[in-house]
A and B are shown apart, each in its own frame.
Chain A
C-alpha cells in the first residue's frame, strides 16, 4: 500500500467510525440479532465486517444505548438487540448533528 493509499484508508476509517454507530442505532429501531442486522445494513449499502459490528453492539449495550435478550428463533438461541430509551434520545440528537454536518458539507461542496 502506498503512502497516499494508507493515508486515504486511515481517513476513510475515521470518517466511517462515527457513521457506523449512527447506522447501527438507526437500524436497531427494529429488533435484530447480529447476523440479520449485518444483512439489513448491507442491504441498505452499509457493509460492516463481523469483527467490527458484533463488538460494537456489545459496546453500545454497555453504554446503555441498546438492550438485548437471548431468545429462541428457528430452533436457535439468538441475542436480539434494540434501542433502549436512552438510545432513542441519543440517536435523535446524533441524527440532528448528522443532518447539520451533512447540510454544512453540502453547502461547502
Chain B
C-alpha cells in the first residue's frame, strides 16, 4: 500500500485545499477496491512493478488532481466572445487616444519637424506595444475575475449574455461596398463623371493663383488688405498639388480610354496619390522658421502672426500624422486581406 499512499499524497498536494481530505478519502476507497478486485482476480498480491504500471495508467498526480479543479480556463467559452469584442474596442481606443495625446504633447512642447519625425516619433512607436500589453492585461484580468466569480457563485451571479454591438440586418453594408473590396465594378457614368470633374477641378486649381476670389470669394479682397503675405514655401506647395492632381488626372484619363479599364477601381492609384500627398505637407512643414505667413513690411515683431504661424504648424503636424496613420492602416488592411485571400485559395 505504500506506493498507493505516496500516490494519493502526491495528488493531495495539487487538490483544492478545502476539499482535499474528502477527495483523497474517496479516491483511496475506490482505488483500494479496484486493487482488491485485481488481486482477487489474480489470486495474489500485485507486485510493486504491477502496482507502478497500474498507477501510471491512472495518470500522473498532477493530471488526476487537475480534473478536480473547478475551473480549468481563464475565460470560458460563454464569456470569450464578449472578452474578444471588448478587447478589440479597448485596444483600438487606447491606440487612438495614445497617438492623439502623444502628437498633441509633442506639438505643445514646441518641437520642430526634426524632433517630431525623429526621436519623439520613434519613442511613441516603441511605447505603443507596451501600452497594448498593459491594457490587454488589465482587460484580461477583469474578465478572468468575472469568470471566476461566476464559476464560484453560479447561483448568485446573473448569467452573462454575450455582448456585441447592437445591429440589424437592414444596417449591414451592401455586398461589395466595403473599404477592402477594390474589385467592385465602377459604372461608366461614375468613371466619366470622375474624369470630367477632374478636369474642371484641375482648371480651377490652375486659375486660383490669378483669381484668388475663386477660392475665397469676396473674402479675397479682405485678405489682400491684410498686412500679411504668403511665405515663399506656399509656391512649391502649390506646384506640388498641381503636379499630384495632374498626375492623377492623367492616370484616370488613360484608364478611361483603355477598353474596360474604367470598370476596376484602382487600388494602386489611390495608394500612390495618398503617398504623394505627403510631399506638399512636408514642404509646408519645412518652411523656414515655421513661418507660413509673413508681414508685408519689415515691421516690428507681430505676436499675433507668430501665434497664427505656430498654430498652423501644429495643425500641419497633426494632419501629417493622420495621413501617415491612414496610410499605415490601409496598408495593414490590404495586407490582411491579401493574406486571407491567399490562405483561402
By a beta-carbon cutoff of 8 Å, the part of chain A in contact with chain B is: 33-36, 38-39, 49-52, 54-55, 58, 62, 76-79
Contact = CB atoms under 8 A, between A and B. Distances in A.
A76 B25 contact: no
Interface residues of B, number: 18
Give 5 nearest A-B pairs by CB, closest first: A55-B67, A34-B30, A35-B33, A35-B30, A51-B59
B125 interface: no
A2 to B, nearest CB: 23
A44 B102 CA distance: 69
B200 interface: no
Contacts of A62: 70
A79 B26 CA distance: 6
Contacts of B334: none
Chain B contact residues: helix, strand, loop or mixed: helix
27 contacts: A34-B29, A34-B30, A35-B29, A35-B30, A35-B31, A35-B34, A35-B37, A38-B30, A39-B37, A49-B59, A50-B31, A50-B34, A51-B58, A51-B64, A51-B67, A52-B67, A54-B27, A54-B30, A55-B68, A58-B23, A76-B29, A76-B32, A77-B25, A78-B29, A79-B25, A79-B26, A79-B29
B30 A58 contact: no
A38 B26 CA distance: 14
Interface string B18-51: 0000010111011111100100000000000000
Nearest to A78: B29
B4 to A, nearest CB: 13
Nearest to A57: B26
Contacts of B27: 54
Contact of B58 (A50, A76, A77): A50
Interface in B36-87: 37, 58-59, 63-64, 67-68, 70
A54 B58 contact: no
Nearest to B59: A51
B38 to A, nearest CB: 11
A42 to B, nearest CB: 11
Contacts of A36: 33
B63 A51 contact: yes
Contact of A33 (B30, B64, B68): B30
Given A50-B34, A58-B68, A62-B70, 6 more contacts: A35-B29, A35-B34, A50-B31, A51-B58, A51-B67, A52-B67
Contacts of B70: 62
A18 B80 CA distance: 22
A77 B28 CA distance: 10
A54 B26 contact: yes
A34 B58 CA distance: 14
